Structure 1
Amino acid sequence: MASEATTVDVPGPHGVRTMRVSSPSRVLWPEAGITKLDLVHYFVQVADAFLAANGDRPVSLQRFGGDVTGDSYFSKNPPKGAPEWLRSVVVTYPSARAHPQLVLDEPAGIVWAAQMNTVVFHAWPSRADASDNPDQLRIDLDPQPGTALAEATRAASGMREVLAEAGLTAFVKTSGNRGLHLYAPIRPEWEFLDVRHAVIAAARELERRRPEEVTTAWWKELRGERIFLDYNQAARDRTIAGAYSPRALPTATVSCPVTWDELEAGVDPGAFTVLTVPQRLATVGDPWTGMRDAAGGLETLLGWWERDLANGEGELPFPPDYPKMPGEPPRVQPSRARSS
């Protein structure tokens, strides 16, 4: 018996591509009743904004064997059987290994990834032609127990002020869950370690101003009821769900760009879903239009980093999968260090 399948015509820069979609009625989000074909139609509708945010970048695919309540895995190398018109670029990982990663250039590429059971897209902060040099500074504002979106919003506004003092323009999006993601476009003149140091400098500056509200503490036992400014999202090969990417959460929320006015008036991240975001784009437009034109430099933030170094504030822990880095403090929880 032939398996269920359909096709979808996807317009793009090279004309219309007819894309096969297997198991179109398979339910990906059981609670919301959203199917694989619904997801494909979502990507066709939001393709322009999605590609403006995530296109021309190395991208990792978070793929699911079943629905979003089940297990997932990350595809970094282009999967076997990828169409010949899909592009890839070789990137270098923290281990110094180098491998190709997929690059999305047209709507049909997103649809092909959805056909391969991709739900969440994780794009690098650098472009394909200069993968070692980010053109985005990113900060993940992560609510800790006892905090929520209201606290994250106050932290985001404070970080916006800090970045503005450093000559950078901040853009914001919902994470699709409880937190917020800040992006600031930068000139691709610095490599990952410099960008990470710039993020640490900005985070420390906000922490000094609002010590009861935000923290740079890597260890959860030290964070308390504060918003964690996750500086390690600026490390090489660390990514967050891209703008307009769905999330593997029960209601099919989307990581959605918003304006600062919207954020400060009070947004409901749960309102931005696979079912609602296409209409939002059609009526409100993309709040991140023109982001790339606002690119700034890291000179001020790196000056703050050097100032903090001179004052005894050095390197912070790297992600656990990283090799030991120069100047890094011991990777051991403070409570364990004290007990030993």
Structure 2
Amino acid sequence: MAAKAEEVDVDGVAVRLTNPDKVYFPKLGANGTKGKLVEYYRTVASGPMLTALRDRPTHLQRFPDGIEGEEIYQKRVPEKHPDYLETCRVTFPSGRTADALKVTHPSAIVWAAQMGTITLHPWQVRCPDTDHPDELRVDLDPQPGTGFAEARTIAVDYLKPVLDELGLVGYPKTSGGRGVHVFVRIRPDWDFIAVRRAGIALARELERRAPDLVTTSWWKEERGQRVFIDYNQNARDRTFASAYSVRATAIATVSTPVTWEELGDADPDDFTIATVPALIAKRGDPMAEMDSVAHPIDSLLEMAAADEERGLGDLPYPPNYPKMPGEPPRVQPSKKVAEHWDEHGNPKT
């Protein structure tokens, strides 16, 4: 017999909860149930997580039967949904549209957990203007042979100094896995193409300063044992795990904002659904001031223009995108015929 549904109060909104004893994280046993996941999200939703997600179209990474079951990446809110939910119309690279979850109240976050959502993935825009990002996102993605220690070193020793030189304030967080994410609040004055171009310029500057440690190569065969700066995370419909989102790991790690000082000694496995609420209560939210200043990206676009003058133009988009203006051919390097390409990877005419 199915367990009886109950209702939980989330800042004045009643959210229906079913099957709270279902185990989502088997390694954690009774501490890894759906009820524990909902309890965690209920704790953080009213404060820092709502700040991170407010008015953002958000996709849901769902595991209705736990992390060892089927994964559903849901971009659309079901037609039948509670009245307290709001939606936001987004346009995908294909030109198709969808009504995504728009987070405006903690109940939306708890509802997502009730639906089996482990991780919430927000866009870098705020509704209703879904064409102009207000975040520049830097994704430090360790490749085989590297890990969190290497990503942390790049962030602290190379990325932060570059941001400081440019007068930009970055806010780091653990990815919940081996990577590091850094957000920069920017003015919503540029479209996705320009913001992605700015992200490429920043990534290339890191690559110049640490060529043995950093790569911007989209092609895995060229990356080696370096940290990949995934510039395409600034493209339309590419999303990060939000701050304070749980990840589908055995110990229920959490993508957790940290100060730059904390990042230097951080271990991503220390941040879990069992530990993060107490950490927030103890020292607050390191991203609390992120909305206080929105930066221009003119300096990064000037760097991009200088790169272009040196023959460094655009880089490949993900394979599901239509061919973009100025984009180089999406041909894997090992499949190129050498005499047909110049030294910059562009086709000879």
Same fold, judged at TM 0.5 (above): yes
Which residue is equivalent to 2:40? 42
Give the Cα separation in 2 of the matches to 1:32 and 1:55: 30
Where 1:74 maps in the other structure, the secondary structure is: strand
The offset of 1:146, in angstroms, is 1.5
Corresponding letter in the other structure for 2:218? W
Q: Distance between the aligned counterparts of 2:69 and 2:222, measured in 1?
A: 32
For 1:27, the aligned partner's letter is V
**What CA distance in whole angstroms lies between the structure 2 residues aligned with 1:145 and 1:4?**
46
- Of 328-337 and 297-306, deviating more is 328-337
Q: CA deviation at 1:166?
A: 2.2
- CA distance in 2 between counterparts of 1:275 and 1:322 reads 39
Pairwise mapping of residues 179-258 of structure 1 onto structure 2 (< 5 A)? Answer: 179-258=179-258
**Deviation digits for residues 52-75 of structure 1 (CA, Å, limit 9, x no counterpart):** 111210000111231112221111
Q: C-alpha distance in 1, partners of 2:146/2:213?
A: 9
Structure 1 gap segments, 5+ residues each: none
How far apart are residue 285 of structure 1 and its match? 0.8
1:23 to 19, 25, 46: 19
1:59 maps to 58
SS in 2 for 1:153: helix
Rounded to whole Å, the distance in 2 between the matches of 1:323 and 1:307 is 26
**Larger deviation, residues 37-46 vs 78-87:** 78-87
Per the TM alignment, residue 2 of structure 1 is displaced from its structure 2 partner at its CA by: 5.2
Tell me if the contact between 1:4 and 1:24 (Cα under 8 Å) persists in the aligned partners.
no
Contact 1:24–1:35 (CA under 8 A) maintained in structure 2: yes
1:121 — aligned with what?
120
Give CA-to-partner distance per residue, 1:160-202, whole Å, 9 cap, x none: 2212222211110000000100100001111111000000001
2:345 paired residue number: none
- Residue 289 (structure 1) shift: 0.6
Q: Distance in 1 between matches of 2:218 and 2:192?
A: 19
Counterpart residue identity of residue 119, structure 1: I
Give the number of aligned pairs. Answer: 335
Is the contact between residue 2 and residue 19 of structure 2 (CA under 8 Å) also seen in structure 1? no
Greater shift in the superposed pair: 163-172 or 296-305: 163-172
Which residue pairs with 1:279 in the alignment?
Answer: 278
Give aligned-pair identity as a percent: 50
Q: C-alpha distance in 1, partners of 2:292/2:279?
A: 23
Higher mean alpha-carbon deviation, 60-69 vs 21-30, is at 60-69
What is aligned with 2:168? 168
Tell me, what secondary structure is at the counterpart of 1:302? Answer: helix
Amino acid at match of 1:38: K
Q: What is the rounded CA distance, in whole Å, between the counterparts of 1:253 and 1:191 in structure 2?
A: 33
Q: Which amino acid aligns with 1:35?
A: T
- Aligned with 1:195: secondary structure? helix
Distance 2:79 2:247 in 1: 24
| Counterpart position of 2:347 | none
Q: Kindly state the Cα deviation for residue 20 of structure 1 after the two structures are TM-superposed.
A: 1.5
Are the counterparts in 2 of residues 167 and 300 from structure 1 also a CA contact under 8 Å?
Answer: no
Correspondence list, 1:67-82, <5 A:
67-82=66-81
In structure 2, C-alpha distance between the alignment counterparts of 1:96 and 1:151, rounded to whole Å:
38
Amino acid at match of 1:155: I
Residue 317 (structure 1) aligns with: 316
User: Following the alignment from structure 2 to structure 1, what is the Cα–Cα distance between the partners of residues 301 and 259?
Assistant: 27
Q: Equivalent residues in 2 for 1:259-298 (5 A)?
A: 259-264=259-264, 266-298=265-297
Q: CA RMSD in A?
A: 1.4
Which 4+ runs in 1 deviate beyond 3 A? 1-4
Please identify, of 157-166 and 266-275, the stretch whose mean Cα deviation from structure 2 is larger. 157-166
CA contact (8 A) 1:91 1:98 kept: yes
Q: Which amino acid in 1 is paired with 2:41? A: F
Measure the CA separation in 1 of the matches of 2:133 and 2:49. 18
In 1, are the aligned partners of 2:141 and 2:228 still within 8 Å (CA)?
yes
CA shift at 1:294, angstroms? 2.4
